[in-house]
Amino acid sequence: MSRVFDMPFSSVYPLYIQKVERKGRSKDEVDAAIRWLTGFDDAAIARHAGGTTTFREFFDEATLNARTEDVTGVVCGIRVEEIEDPLMYRIRVLDKLVDELAKGRPLTKVLRGSADVAPPR
């Protein structure tokens, strides 16, 4: 697992974008999901996406949304809510949000009913 924890966020972020764009979704929607999950603003997301921040450092700086426990389901063959390691849980929740976007789920549902779906500028 430490290999994933020490992986740069910047190496995975473009893959999230590519995944959702192939399905007709946008980078702004991925960023909205990241903002919802982590509390980061656009500048922080850009800094992490363009830097050498590891997933460990990325989530150490994040303030997780209180509704994170509402994210349930299977990602990579594992139920998100059953993941015991706190860091792996956070990584898989982010993966799940991106998967839901790619599958066409409305952004408000991906963000668990949050009214704040517009990207702050």
Structural domain spans, the chain: 2-109
Asked if residues 21 and 102 have their Cβ atoms less than 8 Å apart, the reply is: no
- Fold held by 2-109: Helicase, Ruva Protein; domain 3 (1.10.8)
11: pLDDT strictly greater than 90: yes
Which stretch of 17-21, 100-104, 111-115 has the lowest confidence by average pLDDT? 111-115
Q: Find the DSSP H helices in the chain.
A: 2-5, 9-22, 27-38, 42-50, 55-61, 86-102, 107-110
Element (H, E) at 115: none
In single-letter form, the type of residue at position 83 comes to I
User: 1: pLDDT confidence band, cut at 50, 70 and 90?
Assistant: low
3-state secondary structure of 69: helix
What's the whole-number mean pLDDT along residues 23-49? 97
Instruction: Name the percent of the chain lying above pLDDT 70.
Output: 93
The whole-number pLDDT of residue 40 equals 97
Mean pLDDT of all residues in the chain? 92
The whole-number pLDDT of residue 118 equals 47
0.75 exceeded by the pTM? yes
Asked if residues 83 and 92 have their Cβ atoms less than 8 Å apart, the reply is: yes
How many other CB atoms are found less than 10 A from the CB of residue 94? 25
Structure tokens at 29: 């929607």
